[in-house]
Amino acid sequence: ETGVTQSPTHLIKTRGQQVTLRCSSQSGHNTVSWYQQALGQGPQFIFQYYREEENGRGNFPPRFSGLQFPNYSSELNVNALELDDSALYLCASSLVGREAFFGQGTRLTVV
């Protein structure tokens, strides 16, 4: 039990649709980052939020966007879904420089 909760756990969407994934951080953690893990691959960094501001982004197009709320929970939004967006999406929360805790992930399937 890491204290980081992601919802939903599984999701099926149609190509072209939009999706919102949610992450509830461990209490007090002000930093949250999101990762995409394709099947058989290591996770890839999407972006990071610190105190409600994006402060780092990986090589993902603008249709991947996010939000962090005052309670430090977070959302990942993906617009215009493509088949290649099918993956496990992980969030991790931490205090800066401290150990990160990962959620169980949301498995997104785009058909």
Site residues (CB under 8 A) for other proteins? 2, 31, 33, 35, 37, 40-45, 48, 50, 55-56, 58, 88, 90, 92, 94, 96-97, 99-105, 107
Nearest approach, Cβ of 45 to other proteins (angstroms)? 5
Q: Of the two residues 8 and 80, which places its CB atom closer to other proteins in the complex?
A: 8
Question: To the nearest whole angstrom, how small is the minimum distance from the Cβ of residue 63 to other proteins?
Answer: 20
Nearer to other proteins by Cβ, of 46 and 78: the residue is 46
| Closest C-alpha among 106, 87, 81, 108 to residue 36 | 87
Scanning the chain, the segments in alpha helix (DSSP H) are: none
Smallest separation (angstroms) from other proteins to the CB of 84: 18
| CA-based radius of gyration for the chain | 13
In whole angstroms, the minimum distance from the beta carbon of 8 to other proteins comes to 13
How many Cβ atoms from other residues are within 10 Å of residue 50's Cβ? 16
d(CA 86, CA 59): 16
Residue that is written with structure tokens 């959302």 in the block: 75
